[in-house]
Structure 1
Amino acid sequence: MLSIKTKIDALASRQGFMRYFKNTSWLMGERILRMVVGLFVGIWVARYLGPEEFGLFSYAQSFVGLFMAIATLGLDGILVRELVKDQSKRDALLGTAFILKLIGAFIVLLLLFFTVNIISTDAQTKLLIIVIASATIFQSMNVVDFYFQSNVLSRYVAFANAFTLLISSAVKVWLIVNDAPLMAFAWVVLFDSVILSLGYIYFYLKIGNRIKQWSFDKALAQRLLKDSWPLILSGIVISIYMKIDQIMIKEMLNAEAVGQYAAAVKISEAWYFIPMVVTSSLFPAIIKAKKQSEELYYERLQKLYDLMVWVAIGIALPMTFLSDCVVSLLYGEQYSQAGSVLMIHIWTGVFVFFGVVRGKWMLNENLQTYSLVFMWVSVTINIVLNYLLIPVVGVVGAAIATLLTQATGTVIVPLFFKKLRLSFFMMAKTMFVFNKNHKR
């Protein structure tokens, strides 16, 4: 006979599992909606604008993306961690993070304003960049998103994102039907940010919280920034790594080539919501498992690695053989080069999925300073490979460079650091390279 305590613990465990499962389901549902509706409308926009204008639009977004890490200040994961640890400091944490992010957003706008006036860019591209960058001001309100994450209440985030997606999609369709110019789509980016921030505020207030109770704590701000500075630096490098390919394609080839590459990447990266959603929802449970035992903590972590890597392979394998058909069906013949790019770029997902989980683990183990080393190595390799391959094989060269860089950063670089080798062995175990558990 099971003891009463055992039955209670089992019931609590099942209830805890269902709570996290429902939370993940809300996020997954919203992301699937985003993938279907967002991808459909995004493809319609790409077809409407054509490779050249779509390439210019993508270039402007990538250029702004280079500076986004400054706006976030590396606070996102740290804020979730701190809220999970101590909910009593909620108002101080949210208020302080909000003010810091707002300051970061204005710094980004100033940097971009001076940068676009220094580089040799035409007036339309400059305006595209400034309008898109203005969205960072309203993105400061996403601190509410991290509050919901820490409390396993992501259904509210899902509601806000879904509403914004539907409104944004309707506006884009209206613009297409009415033959709107390229600049109108840049204003939609800003509009989306405003609507989403209002959605966050609405749901935060709806569950009984008060924004007026937020406060700025100077000492807390200093502590948060002390923890986040490695993430700020690594975020800057990540931004360079994620966006530099389209910028280099524009400079080395032309805007139309950027459009071809961006079209393929849009399909390839459409799946990246999966590791983001699953880790954001399940990692609080993994963090709490560490309080019970190291064995349980790493057992759950390994299962998460296994799930992410094999889901990524399940996506990449069929897409490899269907890439040309998929691109032709979705974008039309004007994007004929995108199929070859997609065939290669889709495999970066295997390393991205694993890397998202590893990033959460490193943050929890306070190993985020190594992220900077990872990314400096990766961005250097990526720039060099892009420089060598783009002139030779065009946009396909950028896809090859991205895949090789992701593989190097995920598999090889951790082997040079004793504290990080565990991540290599866990990935190796996922790929069935080792048949027995690796002892740390």
Structure 2
Amino acid sequence: MIGILVNIYLARTMGAEYYGEVSYAIAFVAFFDAVNLLGLNQIVVRELSQSQNNKKFILDVTISLRLISAFLSFFLSVFFAFALGKNLLAIVIVSCGLIFSLGNVCDLFFQSEIKSKYTVIAKIIAYVFSAFFKVFIIWYGGSVSFYLIAVPLEMMTISFILIYLLYRKYKLVFTINFPKFKNDSYYLEILRESLPLMMSNLAVVTFMRSGVMAVEYFLGSRAVGLYSVGANLAEMIFFVPGIIVTSFSPILANLSKNNKERYFLLYQRLMFVFWWGSFISILFYGSLLYYLIPFLYGADFSLSKYIFIVHLLSFLPVCMGCCQTIWVINEKKPNIILIQTIVGALLALILNIYFVQSMGVIGAPIAILIAQIVQSFIVNYFFCKDLFVFTFRSLLWR
């Protein structure tokens, strides 16, 4: 709700072009954040959930790898921004958030302990603080670059609070030990498993943000503003399946190791909830916002309601894709996710280039929707029949 209110204020005060410049800088850096995460998150949660005595060691390995990847991602982001001649200062500011987000490793520990409430506390505090900062900048007519300082500021606040809570509640402190890969087999083992997931994350960002890139390239910043209003409002509920998966992943990881029958039963019921929960969410959330967008944002953004409703339809395949990740992780078949997302990313890029040129800004969410459906359902039919059958059997409660 805070995000919606701040975005409405930004869009109405500064207009579609200003909003488009902000959205483009954030979308650009999102590509490099996928590299920064290294695909470690769900693997580390699984390892922490199944480990009793090595939690400190696993956290130290994770923070050491993430420190290397954060600086590498920062320099890659700045280099490509400079090479492409884009808004370099704005992208440098947003890229600082990659380094300041290191404290999010604490979140993986809290997930494994089913204590995500601590992460929620940290993020709410940081988000409210960031929202006030954004409003202050808009109120005084600040530039895009000043507005974007809120991104690393929010990341830094979250990290500080999470590190403090990890020490306060569990007396854990990070130790950074840069790996000697020839001797440290665990570093190599965890990277080998996470590499397909990192590639998958990069592909996910590619097809989720390729719409912004295509719209900016072919239609300009104002069109990016119109697209981003609709897409951002639709994605306001895209965090829900992630939260549910976060809560259930450690439980299902334990069951997959100790009680397979119970594991498959609980997982099937979780997928059933994802199916029908996404249908209901699209119906009610879509109906409400479709009519409110022109009223909230003004007549200049009336086209955004069509972008919103098409993009919201992607919520169904997004939900199913999130839920399928649990099976892939627990069965240790990360290549399935890699195949899914590479196919989806390539299809999204091709369709965005074609649809945006032929249909205008509405072509971008249509391209994303088609790519999501192919990724979450059709690819499984050819590469993982078991997961394909299980997914559609879960339409019925058992």
TM-score normalized with structure 1 length = 0.86
The answer to whether structure 1 residue 206 and structure 2 residue 168 are counterparts is yes
For residue 179 of structure 1, report the CA deviation from its aligned partner: 2.3
Following TM superposition, the consecutive aligned residue runs of length 4 or more in structure 1 with deviations greater than 4 angstroms are: 212-218, 319-323
Q: Is the 8 A contact 2:256 2:330 kept in 1?
A: no
The answer to whether structure 1 residue 138 and structure 2 residue 100 are counterparts is yes
The 2-side partners of 1:208 and 1:298 are apart by: 32
What per-residue deviation string (whole Å, max 9, x for no partner) do you get for residues 392-430 of structure 1?
A: 22111111111111111111110112xx22222233223
> What is residue 101 of structure 1 aligned with on the other side?
66
Q: Which moved more, 1:365-374 or 1:232-241?
A: 232-241
The answer to whether structure 1 residue 197 and structure 2 residue 163 are counterparts is no
Q: Which moved more, 1:234-243 or 1:393-402?
A: 234-243
Residue 391 of structure 2 aligns with an amino acid whose one-letter code is: M
1:223 to 160, 176, 189: 189
Pairing of 1:82-93 with structure 2 (within 5 A): 82-93=47-58
> What is residue 301 of structure 1 aligned with on the other side?
267
Q: Is the 8 A contact 2:12 2:298 kept in 1?
A: yes
For residue 214 of structure 1, report the CA deviation from its aligned partner: 6.2
TM-score normalized with structure 2 length = 0.94
Pairing of 1:117-196 with structure 2 (within 5 A): 117-121=82-86, 125-196=87-158
> What is residue 429 of structure 1 aligned with on the other side?
393
What per-residue deviation string (whole Å, max 9, x for no partner) do you get for residues 29-66 of structure 1?
A: xxxxxxx2222223322322311011111111111111
For residue 295 of structure 1, report the CA deviation from its aligned partner: 2.2
> What is residue 351 of structure 1 aligned with on the other side?
317
> What is residue 340 of structure 2 aligned with on the other side?
374
For residue 135 of structure 1, report the CA deviation from its aligned partner: 0.6
The Cα RMSD (Å) is: 1.7
Q: Is the 8 A contact 1:66 1:239 kept in 2?
A: yes
Q: Is the 8 A contact 1:49 1:182 kept in 2?
A: no
The 2-side partners of 1:197 and 1:236 are apart by: 23
Q: Is the 8 A contact 2:317 2:376 kept in 1?
A: yes
Secondary structure, in 3 states, of the residue corresponding to 1:210?
coil
What per-residue deviation string (whole Å, max 9, x for no partner) do you get for residues 2-25 of structure 1?
A: xxxxxxxxxxxxxxxxxxxxxxxx
Q: Which moved more, 1:188-197 or 1:173-182?
A: 173-182
Pairing of 1:196-275 with structure 2 (within 5 A): 196-211=158-173, 218=180, 219=184, 220-275=186-241
| Residues matched between the structures, number | 394
Gap change, CA 1:400 and 1:200, over 3 Å in 2: same
What per-residue deviation string (whole Å, max 9, x for no partner) do you get for residues 152-205 of structure 1?
A: 111111111111111111212222222222211111111111111101111111
Residue 171 of structure 1 aligns with an amino acid whose one-letter code is: F
For residue 340 of structure 1, report the CA deviation from its aligned partner: 0.9
Residue 155 of structure 1 aligns with an amino acid whose one-letter code is: K
Q: Which moved more, 1:319-328 or 1:129-138?
A: 319-328
Secondary structure, in 3 states, of the residue corresponding to 1:363?
helix
The 2-side partners of 1:271 and 1:422 are apart by: 29
Residue 172 of structure 1 aligns with an amino acid whose one-letter code is: K
The 2-side partners of 1:271 and 1:65 are apart by: 18
For residue 68 of structure 1, report the CA deviation from its aligned partner: 1.3
Q: Is the 8 A contact 2:63 2:102 kept in 1?
A: yes
The answer to whether structure 1 residue 58 and structure 2 residue 23 are counterparts is yes
Uncovered stretches (5+) of structure 2, i.e. residues with no partner: none
2:78 to 91, 94, 113: 113
Pairing of 1:285-324 with structure 2 (within 5 A): 285-324=251-290
For residue 327 of structure 1, report the CA deviation from its aligned partner: 1.1
Q: Is the 8 A contact 2:78 2:95 kept in 1?
A: no
The 2-side partners of 1:319 and 1:201 are apart by: 35
Q: Is the 8 A contact 2:46 2:249 kept in 1?
A: no
For residue 259 of structure 1, report the CA deviation from its aligned partner: 0.7
Residue 430 of structure 1 aligns with an amino acid whose one-letter code is: S
1:284 to 250, 261, 272: 250
Secondary structure, in 3 states, of the residue corresponding to 1:394?
helix
For residue 291 of structure 1, report the CA deviation from its aligned partner: 3.5
Q: Is the 8 A contact 1:319 1:343 kept in 2?
A: no
Gap change, CA 1:321 and 1:84, over 3 Å in 2: closer
Largest Rg, 1 or 2: 1
Q: Is the 8 A contact 1:250 1:258 kept in 2?
A: yes
Secondary structure, in 3 states, of the residue corresponding to 1:301?
helix
2:11 to 33, 42, 46: 46
Uncovered stretches (5+) of structure 1, i.e. residues with no partner: 1-35
Residue 113 of structure 1 aligns with an amino acid whose one-letter code is: V
The 1-side partners of 2:20 and 2:351 are apart by: 21
Residue 63 of structure 1 aligns with an amino acid whose one-letter code is: F
The 2-side partners of 1:426 and 1:213 are apart by: 42
The 1-side partners of 2:354 and 2:364 are apart by: 9
The answer to whether structure 1 residue 338 and structure 2 residue 308 are counterparts is no
